[in-house]
């Protein structure tokens, strides 16, 4: 039909078509289609090719896409559906409550500024602190002090061991100075401990004990580095 | 006498005598140095606009003096057995740490420092044993810390942050307070004397729990009030722009008008 075949091969095809009816029929159909395409090309275009392609595309996509999840039930969605005024009112309420809480907390916490919780007595505890201490959320001043002293004593024990390891290498002058000054600190620590046993709420003595223990810790640490 | 020696021994005799005298002088000098076991160390560094001195000594006296020169001059006399002194200059910071440089050496003699620095130097010095003296400094910070015993003397100091702390020994501060400055003086056993101008303004927390000896002198006005049976005095003098904390566990506190 297109004259693409070699002459010998074309002769052989013609011979076959001459006695094969079915192939001759196919050949005739093909020749008719080719002839139509050449003479009337618009006749073979579908009436709405774009719509046809859209349909084909939809079919392809529907085969590729996973199945959509089942939609949530209508009743559940209705519970969380708020109108805009409702949402605005809710936000304002939350802001108001949190502001009030912040103001109350700040007023109670900011009053005492120059004393540490460790060394504070029950007299200058704020209302919030007392409430929290009763509930057990924070330590009372005495408990906080006891905890702090326990931490300091643990550190002092550690540094004392380190000093004992190093002390043999010091000269006599260094050993004398160390012992003399450690005694001075220990005297103060003992005095303050006795006072606190008699009056556990003595704020100044609590502070001084804390300071003396810090001083002892610092001295031990410095001498342990020798 | 000399004439007679010259006449007896002539020119050569005079020369021998001179040589003998010189030799004896050299011998005695060497003997003295060996007996004292002292060595000297001296080094200078140029200083920029921002200088900081950090010194950690083991034992001995440290004197730091501010001067009007862009130069840091360190001199030290080292008693036997001599310590290792290795100053480091790190971008405007001079660091001398004798504890670190002599770690593990139990027997180290006193090292007495005299360090001259530009007056605007931030000074941070500490020692285990020995006196600390700092004078003529006008900078952001002055810190003097004696871990065990030694006096601390700070004179002609103008700094926004001053800290002096020892266990046993006196503390003397003579200087001016700056607005918004923080001043802390702490001793376990000794006397603390503070000499400041009457125009100073500061908030004060002064505590002397054992002796209850807190003498504010001319600064007793304002809102000063005793607490805890006189163990502590708290208050404000002037507009209270600076903060001062003075604690003497077993000694007295005294304020002196400059």
pLDDT digits (tens, 9 = 90+) for B184-227: 999 999 999 999 999 999 999 999 999 999 999 999 987 999 99
The reply to whether B139 and B185 lie within a common domain is no
- Asked, for residue B157, whether it belongs to a domain, the answer is no
Please list every residue in chain A whose beta carbon sits closer than 8 Å to the beta carbon of residue B210. Answer: 188, 191
Residue ending a domain, choose from A16, A36, A64: A64
pLDDT average, residue stretch B111-117: 96
Residue for token digits 């309420």?
A: A93
The reply to whether B129 and B201 lie within a common domain is no
The reply to whether B45 and B29 lie within a common domain is no
Instruction: Please tell me the predicted confidence (pLDDT) of residue A144.
Output: 85
- Asked, for residue A106, whether it belongs to a domain, the answer is no
- Return the residue in A121, A170, A174 with the most chain B beta carbons within 10 A, the one to mutate for interface testing: A174
What is d(CA B203, CA B174) in angstroms, rounded to the nearest whole number? 18
pTM reported for the whole predicted model = 0.68
What is d(CA A104, CA B203) in angstroms, rounded to the nearest whole number? 28
Please list every residue in chain A whose beta carbon sits closer than 8 Å to the beta carbon of residue B207. Answer: 204, 207-208
- Per-residue CA distances from B99 to A214, B33, B69 (Å): 21, 25, 29
pLDDT average, residue stretch B167-177: 97
Range in A96-100, B23-27, B65-69 with the lowest mean pLDDT: B23-27
Distance in Å from the first CA to the final CA of chain A:
109
Containing domain of residue B206, as a range?
170-258
The answer to whether residue B228 neighbours chain A at the CB level (below 8 Å) is yes
Containing domain of residue A60, as a range?
7-64
Q: Residue B162: which region, alpha, beta or left (left: phi > 0; alpha: psi -120 to 50)? A: beta
The reply to whether B127 and B48 lie within a common domain is yes
Share of chain A above pLDDT 90, in %: 29
pLDDT average, residue stretch B66-77: 95
**Tally of domains in chain B:** 3
**Tally of domains in chain A:** 2
- Asked, for residue B152, whether it belongs to a domain, the answer is no
What is d(CA B11, CA B17) in angstroms, rounded to the nearest whole number? 10
Q: Burial, B194: exposed, middle or buried (Cβ in 10 Å; 0-12, 13-18, 19+)?
A: buried
Instruction: Please tell me the predicted confidence (pLDDT) of residue A75.
Output: 56
Average pLDDT, rounded, for chain B: 89
* Complex ipTM: 0.81
Instruction: Give residue B17's Cα distance to chain centre.
Output: 47
Least CB-CB distance to B168: which of A181, A204, A211?
A181
Q: Which residues are B159's β-sheet partners?
A: B139, B177
DSSP-based three-state secondary structure for B200:
coil
Please list every residue in chain B whose beta carbon sits closer than 8 Å to the beta carbon of residue A212. Answer: 188, 249
- Asked, for residue A105, whether it belongs to a domain, the answer is no
- Asked, for residue B15, whether it belongs to a domain, the answer is yes
The reply to whether B64 and B137 lie within a common domain is yes
The answer to whether residue B149 neighbours chain A at the CB level (below 8 Å) is yes
- Asked, for residue A1, whether it belongs to a domain, the answer is no
Least CB-CB distance to B167: which of A171, A185, A226?
A185
- Asked, for residue A71, whether it belongs to a domain, the answer is no
Please list every residue in chain A whose beta carbon sits closer than 8 Å to the beta carbon of residue B99. Answer: 222, 225-226
Alpha helices in chain A (DSSP H): 7-19, 21-39, 49-64, 74-79, 84-110, 127-135, 141-166, 172-198, 203-224
């Amino acid at each position: 039909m297109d004259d693409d075949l070699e002459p010998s091969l074309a002769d052989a095809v013609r011979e076959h078509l001459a006695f094969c009816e079915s192939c001759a029929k196919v050949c005739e159909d093909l020749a008719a289609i080719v002839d139509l395409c050449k003479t009337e090309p618009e006749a073979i275009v579908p009436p709405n090719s774009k719509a046809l392609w859209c349909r084909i595309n939809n079919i392809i996509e529907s085969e590729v896409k996973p199945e959509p999840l089942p939609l949530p039930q209508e009743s559940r969605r209705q519970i969380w559906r708020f109108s805009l005024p409702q949402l605005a009112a809710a936000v304002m309420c939350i802001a108001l409550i949190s502001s009030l809480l912040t103001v109350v907390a700040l007023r109670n916490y900011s009053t005492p500024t120059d004393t540490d919780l460790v060394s504070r007595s029950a007299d200058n505890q704020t209302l919030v602190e007392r409430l929290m201490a009763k509930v057990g959320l924070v330590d009372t001043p005495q408990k906080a002090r006891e905890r702090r002293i326990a931490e300091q004593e643990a550190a002092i024990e550690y540094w004392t061991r380190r000093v004992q390891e190093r002390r043999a290498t010091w000269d006599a002058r260094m050993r004398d100075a160390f012992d003399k000054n450690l005694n001075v600190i220990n005297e103060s620590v003992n005095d303050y401990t006795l006072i606190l046993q008699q009056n556990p709420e003595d704020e100044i003595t609590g502070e001084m004990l804390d300071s003396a223990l810090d001083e002892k810790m610092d001295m031990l640490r410095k001498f342990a580095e020798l | 006498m000399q004439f007679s020696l010259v006449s007896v021994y002539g020119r050569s005799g005079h020369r021998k005598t001179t040589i003998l005298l010189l030799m004896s002088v050299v011998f005695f000098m060497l003997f003295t140095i060996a007996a004292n076991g002292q060595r000297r160390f001296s080094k200078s560094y140029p200083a920029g606009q921002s200088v900081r001195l950090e010194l950690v000594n083991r034992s001995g006296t440290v004197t730091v003096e501010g001067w009007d020169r862009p130069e840091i001059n360190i001199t030290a006399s080292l008693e036997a057995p001599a310590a290792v002194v290795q100053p480091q200059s790190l971008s405007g910071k001079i660091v001398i740490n004798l504890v670190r440089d002599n770690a593990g050496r139990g027997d180290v003699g006193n090292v007495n420092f005299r360090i001259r620095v530009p007056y605007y130097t931030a000074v941070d010095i500490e020692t285990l044993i020995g006196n600390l003296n700092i004078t003529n400094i006008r900078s952001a910070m002055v810190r003097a810390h004696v871990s065990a015993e030694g006096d601390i003397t700070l004179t002609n100091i103008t700094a926004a942050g001053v800290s002096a702390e020892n266990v046993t020994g006196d503390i003397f501060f003579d200087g001016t307070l700056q607005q918004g400055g923080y001043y802390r003086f702490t001793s376990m056993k000794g006397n603390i004397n503070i000499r400041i101008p009457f125009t100073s303004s500061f908030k004060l927390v002064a505590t002397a729990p054992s002796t209850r000896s807190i003498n504010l002198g001319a600064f007793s006005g304002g809102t000063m009030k005793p607490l805890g049976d006189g163990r502590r005095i708290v208050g404000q003098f002037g507009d209270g722009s600076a903060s001062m904390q003075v604690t003497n566990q077993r000694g007295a506190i005294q304020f002196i008008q400059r």
